[in-house]
Amino acid sequence: MQRHRMGRRNRFLINPCVPAVVLVVVPVVVPVAVPIACVGRACVAQAESSSVNRSPRPDRRVTAARSLPMSVPPPAHSHDTSQLHDDAVAAYQAGRLDAVQTLIDRILLLDGEHVGALHLQGLLALAAGQLRDAQHWLERALQIRPEPILYNTLYAIRLRLSDFAGAVHSLREGLAMQPDFVALHYNLALTLQHLDRLEDAALSYRRTLELDPHHSAAHNNLGRIYADLGAAEDAERHYRRAIELASANFVARNNLAMLLLAAGRYTEGWPYFEDRWVSFRQADGRPARVPVQVALPRWSGEEQCVSHGTQAGRAPAERLLVLDEQGYGDSLQFVRYLPLALARFSHVGYVCPPPLRRLYEQSLCARWPRLVLLDAVPADLRGWDCYCPLMSLPMAFATRVATIPAPLPYLYADAARTAAWRARFDALPAEHLPRVGVVWAGGHSGIAVDRLRSLAIAQIAPLLALRQVRWVSLQKTDDPAKLADAASKARLIDWTDELADFADTAALIDNLDLVISVDTSVAHLAAAMGKPVWLLNRFAGCWRWLRGRDDSPWYPGLRLFTQTQRGDWDDVLVRVAAALQQSFPPIA
């Protein structure tokens, strides 16, 4: 039986709501022009040395026109060791690591306390993933002669070891020696941001900007903090400043997109949202998986998309290929545009994720036979005239809040499968009680947003204690920590092991009166089926839910219960419990 997670896939892109803050800090040994490699929605100073981290190509990164004093000042070594060290640095920057090791060995034979050679030895160990050895070499170098750059490298090592307290300590030690070291302030801010110490991180970013007002990445990351704290105007100001300083800072451009979309400023936001492709490649200095590049013209909403074959006398385009991207929830939300595309094209093909295929066949293809579901991008593209990524369709149709297509329901359960589930419900005691499905955690633990959107099963125990409804688990996950405990299982009907794909889940949901869910794909599925959905929404949540609303123009039957304070689910659950008591009064 095929298992599926009701959450984000590792397909193509990082989560479009809150990309992860990944910490990539590359120590260096000589003065360099420091580019900025952006991670998630945060950015780190990164060296151009390809031997430690594969930097993105120059046309795919934001560069900063500044140099930082990143080398260890040379001691009074002999001419021989100084020249050997220069040669070792040159070899290191060229990626000739075997030559570096040979030169280090020669230097340490002449001078066993050569700090530059010890630093290089630590960098080689770090590059090889030998983190404990790398830490040893850096600590030895620091014992001989403490230098700020050595503390920065030790910070990078401790970060890789997940020793965040030690990493922060290293940065503070370096700053005690050189308070105006911009990279140390920046890395400190980034680490504190990763640790969710947002106020402290903001202070460090502001200090970074005092020292370097043109630091585009710091503006972007400070904007991220303001966005996370709900200060949208401040966030927009810093995002725009980041873009002014570096127009190729696509991470900031994508962040601005999400901020504008969350404010309902769709006309402004959609064009920036197109930068998500470059943004996520830029995110951690490595090429990210993106939709397959196809040799077709891109359709952006034109009345006619002239095909690549018109030079041979072909007619204007008739067939549109739509590429899947991002998570299951994104697909469930935006497939509503496929029937609209059929009004412009004779046929539309959608590259469909396997767990969604059966659901879409019975819901969409059964109604629109000119819609074709594909397992992959065809090798032979002669049957297609142009293409469009799924989440670019809203811009192609010039979607505004007032024109969001919401023809609910647009997804349907299979009648026979629905009847089979109904028979099982009817066989249970107290079958007359209203049935409420519940999802308390996201299905993908590997993304940063998951800890913000998810609850522990113990937190919803007061809801499960309400006896006037039948609680039905829709929690599908491979993470044992997210499964119901023994006490909760006694209050839940849990048939999730029998759910092979989203079509099965839809049939189960079709038997429910209400679904209560965190921001994950089950909420999209139920809402697209026209079921009442109560969404447990984190503070400063995903752009699609808009700010300051308790309803959704994307799903008229959805009700938002949003945190009033960051991380506080207690107030949300109190409001949900009160709403349940009102909607389903206790039976006397």
Predicted local confidence at residue 336, as pLDDT: 98
Shared domain for 425 and 535, answered yes or no, is yes
Shared domain for 80 and 52, answered yes or no, is no
Predicted local confidence at residue 482, as pLDDT: 62
> Per the domain annotation, does 301 fall within a domain?
no
> Per the domain annotation, does 293 fall within a domain?
no
For CA atoms 243, 247, 252, 255, the dihedral sign is positive
354, burial (CB in 10 Å: exposed 0-12, middle 13-18, buried 19+): exposed
Instruction: Look at residue 305 and tell me whether its pLDDT is greater than 50.
Output: yes
- Which of 403, 430, 451 lies at the terminal end of a domain, its last residue? 403
Predicted local confidence at residue 74, as pLDDT: 53
- pLDDT confidence tier of residue 484, bands split at 50, 70 and 90: low
Q: CA-CA distance, 211 to 185, in Å (whole number)? A: 9
Total domain count for the chain? 4
- pLDDT confidence tier of residue 111, bands split at 50, 70 and 90: very high
Predicted local confidence at residue 83, as pLDDT: 92
Instruction: Indicate the range of 16-20, 54-58, 116-120, 503-507 predicted with least confidence.
Output: 54-58
> Per the domain annotation, does 494 fall within a domain?
yes
Q: How far apart are the first and last CA of the chain?
A: 43
Instruction: Look at residue 576 and tell me whether its pLDDT is greater than 50.
Output: yes
b/e map 413-438, b = 16+ CB within 10 Å: bbeebbeebeeebeeeeeeebebbbb
- pLDDT confidence tier of residue 281, bands split at 50, 70 and 90: low
CA angle, 524 as apex, 375 and 489 as ends, to 5°?
105
> Per the domain annotation, does 461 fall within a domain?
yes
Predicted local confidence at residue 233, as pLDDT: 98
* Over residues 391-414, mean pLDDT: 97
* Over residues 271-278, mean pLDDT: 88
Shared domain for 528 and 452, answered yes or no, is yes
Phi, psi at residue 43, to the nearest 5°? Answer: -135, 150
Query: Do 434 and 470 touch, CB atoms closer than 8 A?
Result: yes
Query: Do 469 and 436 touch, CB atoms closer than 8 A?
Result: yes
> Per the domain annotation, does 409 fall within a domain?
no
* Over residues 113-130, mean pLDDT: 96
> Per the domain annotation, does 272 fall within a domain?
yes
Q: CA-CA distance, 303 to 383, in Å (whole number)? A: 20
Predicted local confidence at residue 5, as pLDDT: 42
Predicted local confidence at residue 473, as pLDDT: 96
- pLDDT confidence tier of residue 588, bands split at 50, 70 and 90: low
Instruction: Look at residue 70 and tell me whether its pLDDT is greater than 70.
Output: no
Instruction: Look at residue 427 and tell me whether its pLDDT is greater than 70.
Output: yes
b/e map 106-132, b = 16+ CB within 10 Å: bbbeebeebbbbbbbbbbbbbbeeebe
- pLDDT confidence tier of residue 267, bands split at 50, 70 and 90: very high
Predicted local confidence at residue 450, as pLDDT: 79
Q: CA-CA distance, 338 to 350, in Å (whole number)? A: 8
Q: What is the pTM of this model?
A: 0.84
Shared domain for 521 and 552, answered yes or no, is yes
Shared domain for 354 and 438, answered yes or no, is no
Shared domain for 64 and 80, answered yes or no, is no
Instruction: Look at residue 55 and tell me whether its pLDDT is greater than 60.
Output: no
Q: CA-CA distance, 284 to 287, in Å (whole number)? A: 8
Instruction: Indicate the range of 97-106, 285-294, 319-328, 557-566 predicted with least confidence.
Output: 285-294
Beta strands in 40-137 (DSSP E): 42-45, 62-68
Higher-scoring residue by pLDDT: 138, 32? 138
Instruction: Look at residue 290 and tell me whether its pLDDT is greater than 60.
Output: no
Predicted local confidence at residue 75, as pLDDT: 52
Predicted local confidence at residue 443, as pLDDT: 72
Higher-scoring residue by pLDDT: 43, 385? 385
Predicted local confidence at residue 486, as pLDDT: 60
Which CATH number fits the domain that encloses residue 562? 3.40.50.2000
* Over residues 352-376, mean pLDDT: 97
Q: CA-CA distance, 419 to 417, in Å (whole number)? A: 5
| pLDDT tens sequence across 493-539 | 999 999 999 999 999 999 999 999 999 999 999 999 999 999 999 99
- pLDDT confidence tier of residue 294, bands split at 50, 70 and 90: confident
> Per the domain annotation, does 318 fall within a domain?
yes
Q: CA-CA distance, 472 to 24, in Å (whole number)? A: 42
- Which of 152, 180, 208 lies at the terminal end of a domain, its last residue? 180
Instruction: Write out the residue range of the structural domain in which residue 29 sits.
Output: 13-69+197-288
Which residues neighbour 542 within 8 Å (Cβ) at sequence distance 6 or greater?
16, 17, 18, 262, 519
Shared domain for 428 and 571, answered yes or no, is yes
Predicted local confidence at residue 302, as pLDDT: 87
Query: Do 326 and 391 touch, CB atoms closer than 8 A?
Result: yes
Higher-scoring residue by pLDDT: 124, 78? 124
* Over residues 470-484, mean pLDDT: 79
Q: Structure tokens of 93?
A: 């920057």
Shared domain for 59 and 204, answered yes or no, is yes
Which CATH number fits the domain that encloses residue 176? 1.25.40.10
Shared domain for 442 and 388, answered yes or no, is no
> Per the domain annotation, does 190 fall within a domain?
no
Instruction: Look at residue 156 and tell me whether its pLDDT is greater than 60.
Output: yes
Shared domain for 104 and 239, answered yes or no, is no
Shared domain for 548 and 576, answered yes or no, is yes
Higher-scoring residue by pLDDT: 357, 53? 357
- Which of 380, 403, 426 lies at the terminal end of a domain, its last residue? 403
Q: CA-CA distance, 480 to 359, in Å (whole number)? A: 27
Shared domain for 208 and 61, answered yes or no, is yes
Instruction: Look at residue 314 and tell me whether its pLDDT is greater than 90.
Output: no
